[in-house]
Amino acid sequence: MLGAVALALVLLGASTGVLPAAAAHAAAEPVVCMLSCDRLDPSKARQETFPVPEKRINGRRLVLHVSDPDGMAWGSIDDGTSGDAVWLDRSWDGGATWEGLLGKASIPATWTGTRTLMYNITDPSRHRRGMIRACGDAQAVACTDWVYPTVCDLRCDRTDPAQADGDTQPVPPTTLFGRTIRLHIDRNGMAWGGIEAGGQGDEVWLDRSWDSGATWPGGSSLGRTSVGAGASGTRTAMFATRDPRGRLYGGAVRACGREATHQEGSCTSWARPAVARVQAAADALMYSYDPSAAWWPGSWWNSAVVLTTVIDTADRQYDWVIARTFDVNRGRFDAGQRGTDPIEGDFISRAIDDSAWWGLAWVAAYDRTGDPRYLGMAATIGEYVHRYWDPNSCGGGVWWDRERTYKNAVTSGLYLRLAASLHRRVTGDTVWLQRARTAADWYLASGLVNADGLVNDGLTADCRNNGQTVWTYNQGLAIGGLVEVWRATGETRLLDTAKRLADAAVTRLSRNGVLTESCDIGQSSCDDNQKQFKGIFARYFTDLVRVTGSAAYRGYAQRQADSIWSADRDSLNRIGQRWAGGGPGQTDWRTQASGLSGLITG
């Protein structure tokens, strides 16, 4: 609900077409975009709260309004006269400096109040945590308190370490003049620093960074404390490493200290919490999500797979990402905005496999939320993919692209899984069931699976196995598709074949028990698509584990998770391409999502 002045101004705008509060903005005013961009009208706010006390300026009421669902704030001034003004200040360094006069608006003649437009409080796309306050000028200048100066997760900044839930030390301690400085993190992601073997006047503190340790504005010398007389050590209070309200999940911390008689200090390495494997890897993955554009920037189909991985974590704190990604990306995009091809609406493009990945993502979203719009979108995409099922070429199979140039394993595997998934979720369906049966029969007879039980990349123009690279994601999609059709039909031959393909992967696509892509071997490296292949295999192999209960399969899945965690992860929980470790190393959000799928073993 909007305040009285804001509501009056909305009504005035409805009748005149102009909002008096919409004063001219400075051309150089910075613009931040999160769920919405700065300068959104408060009439569109999803919530109105007043988390800081209002301020009085010569009888005027200065109020800061906040909408947490939008992550935005606006200011208002009431009981004033013409010329009184209100604006916002926004700080990115804990209030040391700020962008001033944001949205400045003056009370027009005959009115007694006005308000600013809405501005984002924080900026997760650029990994900046912000604070906002409302300021006014009514023959004197004053400001409200800053909103949300304290970071809160399950606990808030400055909590006593006596309340810690456990104690892990994610990085080695550092030493300085015989002192030992340690970083501690508990199961709630709360961090504190400690100094040992010291003396009176020695100091310890935390630094906190929202951009992986590159900078730490507003996060320097947190909880700085000194060793008291007669003591040999001390510790800071605890500070949060995540800010869910600000949608900042990837905060990093380090412990620093100084010996009393020297100016120089020493710090541990930067670290993120790493108590629960899946959440730790998911937080590091969410670091790369752009909530404004609502994808993982740079790759369209990969973003569909990553969204599915986030859903697979079953962590409610990320559920907002589902709706956000759907709402922003269901429209049209010109070539170059989401990839080389234009996106034509409803996640459809000339690349049939790209569309199918989004279809599976919305099936997962429907399973997670029960929202029928996701199932409807999956069905829309499924019908589009089905248009490229062509029995006049090779007896069936789905073309890879709209130009019908290639029948490959990835597109046919996607169709197999999607068709069976839609049948199992569309009430009273018979059409998708028949399509799934037909697709399974064709796949098994197509020649895509070679004599070793491995899936090659595709078929030649004369419909023979082309002998091209066996990629792990093709193996995984075949397993996942056959498992889903087995669920739909109960035909044991399908589950038996899925197990045969899994056995072949365990034997032939692994080195020392760890899944290995061909581009992992030697000094080679994987391209941006290949970086994500092993995670796709892991998703569908885990599905097979669930339906078979096989101890051998479960053990293999666990070996992948253990190797990823111990050999292919750094102190910021970033996961690389090579699950067995070793160089050359590649690490980005694609390898992160792939590794996260490998950590989800049940």
Confidence band, pLDDT 50/70/90 cuts, at residue 29: low
Rounded CA gap, 416 and 410, in Å? 10
**58 in the same domain as 114:** yes
Amino acid letter, residue 566: S
pLDDT at residue 28, rounded to an integer: 55
Q: What is the pLDDT of residue 8?
A: 35
Mean pLDDT, to the nearest integer, of 499-525?
95
Average pLDDT (378-398) is 98
Same domain? For 138 and 167 the reply is: no
> For residue 7, what pLDDT band results from cuts at 50, 70 and 90?
very low
- Residue 25 pLDDT: 38
Mean pLDDT to the nearest integer, 150-179: 97
Cβ-count burial of 239 within 10 angstroms (0-12 exposed, 13-18 middle, 19+ buried)? buried
The CA distance from 314 to 602, in Å, is 11
What confidence tens digit (pLDDT) does each residue in 255-307 have? 999 999 999 999 999 999 998 999 999 999 999 999 999 999 999 999 999 99
Same domain, 50 and 135: yes
Asked if residue 232 and residue 137 are part of one domain, the reply reads no
Contacts (Cβ under 8 Å, ≥6 apart) of 583: none
Provide the 3-class DSSP secondary structure of residue 411. Answer: helix
Task: pLDDT band for 21, please (50, 70, 90 cuts).
Answer: very low
248 and 222, same domain (yes or no): yes
Distance in angstroms (rounded) separating the CA atoms of residues 521 and 430: 45
Look at residues 211, 281, 273, 213 and name the one whose alpha carbon lies nearest to residue 579: 281
pLDDT category of residue 435 using cuts at 50, 70 and 90: very high
End residue of a domain, out of 250, 267, 284: 267
* Residues 422 and 435 sit within 8 Å (Cβ to Cβ): no
Altogether, the residues listed in the chain come to a count of 602
Instruction: State the DSSP H helix or E strand holding residue 554, giving kind and residue range, or none if neither.
Output: helix 551-567
Which residues constitute the domain of residue 85? 42-143
Judge whether residue 225 has pLDDT over 80. yes
Residue 430 lies in a domain: no
Residues 110 and 199 in one domain: no
pLDDT value, residue 305: 98
Of residues 21 and 187, which shows the higher confidence score?
A: 187
**Of 267, 298, 323, which residue constitutes the final position of a domain?**
267
Residue 15 pLDDT greater than 50, yes or no: no
Looking at residues 132-138, what average pLDDT do you find?
A: 98
Task: State whether 53 and 80 are in the same domain.
Answer: yes
Confidence of residue 602 (pLDDT cuts 50, 70, 90): confident
Same domain, 200 and 262: yes
User: Domain tally for the chain?
Assistant: 2
Range list of H helices, 158-251:
none
Reading the block at residue 124, the tokens are 């997760």
- Kindly give the interhelix angle for 472-489 and 533-548, rounded to the nearest 10 degrees: 30
Residues 121 and 166 in one domain: no
The residue written with tokens 């049209």 in the block is 332
CB 436 within 8 A of CB 488: yes
**pLDDT tens per residue, range 410-433:** 999 999 999 999 999 999 999 999
Domain CATH number, residue 217: 2.60.40
Residue 13 pLDDT greater than 70, yes or no: no
136 shares its domain with 165: no
